[in-house]
Structure 1
Amino acid sequence: MQATVTDHRCDIAVLHLRGELDADTAEKLRSTLSGLLERPVPRIVVDLTDLKFCDSVGLSAFITSKQLITDRGGWLSFAGANPFLLRLLETVGLTRYFAIFPEVEDAIAAGQL
């Protein structure tokens, strides 16, 4: 899995994920999210457009990070999930826990309201 971060405006980071997120690559996700969590009020959009696979270890990293982000008054949302990832998030009940948008721009706009 590859993870890159781009900043939109001064207060929203977009985390672009590419490849497969599993037990072998989850530590890279945790490390990247850890850096973003150091921001005073983390506002993060996770771009799932190029993420082809995610297992329970990857989902766990997102859940743990979201809890920390929410405690700091920030938010974490998903954008661009493919049908597999949407089905996975629905199956495990995370569509009620995370905001999920069709496009990154939609998630950014919702966060600026």
Structure 2
Amino acid sequence: MQATVTDHRCDIAVLHLRGELDADTAATLRATLTDLLERPVPRIVVDLTDLKFCDSIGLSTFITSKQVITARGGWLSFAGANQFLQRLLETVGLSHYFAIFPEVDDAIAAGQL
């Protein structure tokens, strides 16, 4: 899995994920999120457009990060999930825990409200 970050207006970071997120690649996600958590008020959109797979280790990394982010007054949302990821998030009940948007621009706009 590859993880890159781009910054947008209003201190919103977009974390672009590409490939497969599993036990072998979760450390890359944790390291990237740890860097983003250093920001005073973390506001993160995770772009799932190019993420093809995510297992329970990946989901757990998102959940743990969201707890820290929320405690610091920030937020973490998802954008661009494919059908597999949408079904996965719904099946495990995370579609009620995370804001999920069709496009990155939608998530950024919602974060500025």
| TM-score by shorter chain over 0.5 | yes
TM-score where L is the length of structure 1: 0.99
Q: Is the 8 A contact 2:10 2:112 kept in 1?
A: no
Structure 2 equivalent of residue 103 of structure 1: 103
Question: 1:6-17 alignment to 2 at 5 Å?
Answer: 6-17=6-17
Q: Is the 8 A contact 2:47 2:79 kept in 1?
A: yes
**Partner Cα distance (1:102, 1:9) in 2:** 19
**Partner Cα distance (2:92, 2:36) in 1:** 25
Root-mean-square deviation (Å): 0.4
Structure 2 equivalent of residue 58 of structure 1: 58
Structure 1 equivalent of residue 28 of structure 2: 28
SS where residue 63 of structure 2 aligns? helix
SS where residue 85 of structure 1 aligns? helix
User: Post-superposition shift, 1:9?
Assistant: 1.3
Structure 1 equivalent of residue 78 of structure 2: 78
User: Post-superposition shift, 1:25?
Assistant: 0.1
Structure 1 portions without partners, runs of 5+: none
Identity %: 88
Structure 2 equivalent of residue 47 of structure 1: 47
Q: How many residues align?
A: 113
Large movers: runs of 4+ above 2 Å: none
Deviation per CA, 1:49-68: give whole Å up to 9, x if none.
Answer: 00000000000000000000
Q: Is the 8 A contact 2:79 2:104 kept in 1?
A: yes
Structure 2 portions without partners, runs of 5+: none
TM-score where L is the length of structure 2: 0.99
